Structure 1
Amino acid sequence: MKNSWTKTKFIMLMSVLTMFLAGCGENHLSTLKPAGEVGRQQFNLMVISIVIMILVIVVVTVAFSIAVFKSRRSQLGEDFKPKQVAGNHTLEVIWTSIPIVLLIILAIPTVYFTFQQGDTTEMVNAKGEANEDVTIINVTAHQYWWEFEYEHEGVVTSQDLVVPTGEKVFFNLKGADVKHSFWIPAAGGKLDTNVDGVNSFFLVFDDDKAQDADRLFYGKCAELCGPSHALMDFKVNALEKDDYEQWLADMKQIEEPIQADAGDAKEGQDIFNNSCIGCHAVTPTGAGAVGPNLTNFGDRELVAGILEHNKENLVDWIKDPESIKPGNKMTGKYQLNDEEIEKVAEYLMTLKVDEGTGDKSKLRESKDEEGGDK
């Protein structure tokens, strides 16, 4: 009996600690540390909701406690009968009106911000075409990786999303296979990606908050989409406008695949071109490929979204992707021997476009992160 009570107390203690720890977060992934206009508005709505709920709980708890204290049998006697209030119109009006008022207080800012955040009219100019004066990124969600196509620049990336700070960034969202959900916790969101339609919205990234987070934020799939749903993330590199423009310029200069110099990397490129190229593009215009675009793979933060970015982990991923990310579509695609895999990995690690866009050391040191496909 004593052991059972000890276990019960331990479980209760851990449950309470879990509730408190659920509110903990870091600059790059917490909704409680908003990093942009949309995130702040949504955070303020959460605060309003919590304040209203706390107010209701306090009022009900106080009223209940007073009623229990004053209605003690020892004080009022065995034969005491409380006053009957059924049918009291005044009380009915009061306890009906108060919830209505609270709902109105919550509904007004919620409806206002919902319509404001859903306003994407700036994406289209007077001719009904995509507005070239704003940043528009077409997002395609795959099992279990993300593709990003920059509308006006013709640049395509995978897994690492690069955005400018201090301005609205518009997103067109769609799913390639099943329903997913695009979410960057620190910036705001989330919105579903559907196979049979396109959803659009915008986010704003504060430059100061981006610096606090070493210019890296987490993005996640927030819709259960298969066995590796929890491993489907992406990274967001939020750059100052000038750095963002420079990154785009560097990407657009790559018209042909980056050529390996010599040695194992050169042999790896030849092997890649005779096998992996059937699914993966290595130029920034390769939209709609079966697998992720690998143009700047050497600049990535993680391998397969969950492994530290190094050659050894890349070899393990190519050799047995199913053991790392169950249900991925790369499993069984390429029949390469160990020597060929080593050389392909050597080649992929050389695919670097720009190593100077932001401090990425923080997340690169993390070895237990969850994320998306290669």
Structure 2
Amino acid sequence: MMKGIKKWRLFSLLTALMVFLSGCGEEHLSTLTPAGQVGRDQLDLMVLSTAIMVLVIIVVMIVYVLAIVKFRRSKVGENVIPKQVEGSHKLELIWTIVPIILLLILTVPTVVSTYKLADVSGMDTVDAKGNKTAVTVNVKANLYWWEFEYPDLGIVTAQELVVPTQEKVYFNLKAADVKHSFWIPAAGGKLDTNVDNLNKFYLTFDNPSESLQDGVFYGKCAELCGPSHALMDFKVKSLDRDDFDAWVADMKASKEETPEGDVAQQGQEIFNTSCIACHAVSGAGSTGGVGPNLATFGDRNRVAGFMEHTPENIKAWISNPEKHKPGNLMPEPKEINNGKDFTDQELTALTEYLMGLSVEE
């Protein structure tokens, strides 16, 4: 008996914890703190559907409890059979009409929002000079990293998406290898990236992300895609339009330059003989790199999308990428360094060079 009571106590504790934890969420990663109109519209649908479900549960529980209380054996006696309502037209009408009404209440706003959020016609709007007025980003999902190309702006980056605030940002989604799913929880619902077809949608961001933890929103792959699926993260910086335009100009002007300091120059030499075949270091151009574009590597807050941006983690990642992100396609050091591992001096030089790749002042 006591064992059963203890189990119920544990169940009650877990239920209470679930209620409290459901309210937890960070502004940079939670669907409950939407960053733009798309997120708010989707949150409203979530609240509406939840409210309808809770209402149905409450009504059913009330009927259930009333039936137990009113017709319990100790009250009505042993041999009393309550009035039978099978075939009651009144009840049948009630439990047919009420669900239809609830479904209509949920269906109408859902359909309206679905068509509204699927409207990407603004992607092709041009000004008097024939230039595209909206920001469009071609998203390519790879094992296990993200590439972001701005085709109308002539720039490309990886792992960190940069977007303007107070306007629609349109996305063309494609996968390079297997199915992935593009998701920025605070901005809006996920959408699959497929190998064979292009998916399109848009998101909006109200305010710059600089006030958030790490100064970014967090994005994720929401489709199980392999052993490192959970590590396939990316970051999103939202900027005022003027700051976004300045960032675009800096990206266009970025190019491979001789770094300052002997150690960084040594790192550049190693990079140009071992890494340049897969990684670009200029933000200007188009997509197509085998590996992530590293033009903004020094501005990032994560290594490989999930490790703290520290020299130690950069060295650890270069030395053994498979250990930290299983299944990724980055070659081991011996494959690109004449059959030898990088020495600590070479790793230090590479780290110094990579930390200097920056477009932000």
- The TM-score, its normalising length taken from structure 1, stands at 0.89
The match for 1:352 is: 358
| Counterparts of residues 107-186 of structure 1 (less than 5 Å) | 107-125=107-125, 132-186=132-186
Q: Distance in 2 between the 1:234 and 1:19 partners?
A: 29
Equivalent AA in structure 1 for residue 38 of structure 2: V
1:50 equivalent in alignment to 2:42: no
Corresponding residue for residue 270 of structure 2: 271
Deviation at 1:258, TM superposition (A): 3.1
1:65 Cα deviation after fit? 1.0
Find out whether 1:337 has 2:342 as its counterpart: yes
Is the 8 Å Cα contact of residues 123 and 131 (structure 1) preserved in structure 2?
A: no
Find the counterpart in structure 2 of residue 365 from structure 1. none
Match of 2:207 in 1: 207
How far, CA to CA, are the matches of 2:75 and 2:14 in structure 1? 40
User: CA separation of 1:5/1:266 partners in 2, compared to 1, >3 Å: closer, same or farther?
Assistant: farther
* CA distance in 1 between partners of 2:221 and 2:67 (Å): 48
1:350 deviates by 0.7
Question: Which whole-Å CA distance do the structure 2 matches of 1:264 and 1:126 have between them?
Answer: 47
- Relative to structure 1, is the Cα distance of residues 286 and 340 closer, same or farther in structure 2, using a 3 angstrom cutoff? farther
1:344 maps to a residue whose letter is: L
Alpha-carbon distance in 1 for matches of 2:181, 2:89: 48
1:122/1:131 contact within 8 Å kept: no
- String of CA shifts for 1:112-134, please: whole Å, max 9, x gaps: 0000000001112489xx96111
Q: Contact 1:139–1:171 (CA<8 Å) still a contact in 2?
A: yes
1:313-353 alpha-carbon deviations (Å, 9 max, x no partner): 10011001111111111142534422322211111011011
Percent of paired sites with the same residue: 54
Contact 2:149 2:286 in 1 (8 A): no
Give, as a single letter, the amino acid of the residue that structure 2 aligns with 1:37: Q
Structure 1 position 259, deviation (Å): 2.2
Partners of 1:7 and 1:85 in 2: CA distance: 39
In 2: Cα distance, 1:126 partner to 1:293 partner: 29
Partner of 2:326: 326
Residues 258, 351 of structure 1: 8 Å contact kept: no
Alignment of 1:1-374 (within 5 A): 6=6, 9-10=9-10, 13-14=13-14, 16-125=16-125, 132-207=132-207, 210=209, 212-213=211-212, 215-254=215-254, 256-284=255-283, 285=285, 287-332=287-332, 333-335=335-337, 336-338=341-343, 339-355=345-361
Q: Amino acid of the residue matched to residue 265 of structure 1? A: A
Instruction: Tell me the secondary structure at the aligned position of residue 110 of structure 2.
Output: helix
Give the conservation status (yes or no) of the 8 Å contact 1:269–1:347.
yes
Asked whether the equivalents of residues 173 and 200 of structure 1 are also in contact (C-alpha less than 8 Å), the reply is yes
What is aligned with 1:366?
A: none
Residues 90 and 14 of structure 1, relative CA distance in 2, 3 Å threshold = closer
CA distance 1:345–1:8, shift in 2 (3 Å):
farther
RMSD: 2.1
Which is worse superposed, 308-317 or 280-289?
A: 280-289
Secondary structure (helix, strand or coil) at the match of 2:336 reads: coil
Unmatched segments (≥5 aa) in structure 1: 356-374
Supply the distance in 1 between the matched residues of 2:131 and 2:58 (Cα, whole angstroms).
50
| Equivalent AA in structure 1 for residue 350 of structure 2 | V
Distance 1:193 1:230 in 2: 16
Q: Distance in 2 between matches of 1:236 and 1:170?
A: 14
For residues 245 and 199 of structure 2, the distance between their equivalents in structure 1, rounded to whole angstroms, comes to 26
Aligned mates of 1:99, 1:312 — CA distance in 2: 59
Match of 1:219, as an amino acid?
Answer: G
Instruction: Please state whether the residue corresponding to 1:342 is helix, strand or coil.
Output: helix
**How far apart, in 2, do the equivalents of 1:19 and 1:228 lie?**
30
Q: String of CA shifts for 1:256-275, please: whole Å, max 9, x gaps.
A: 31321231110110110001
Q: Aligned partners of 1:30 and 1:110: how far apart in 2?
A: 21
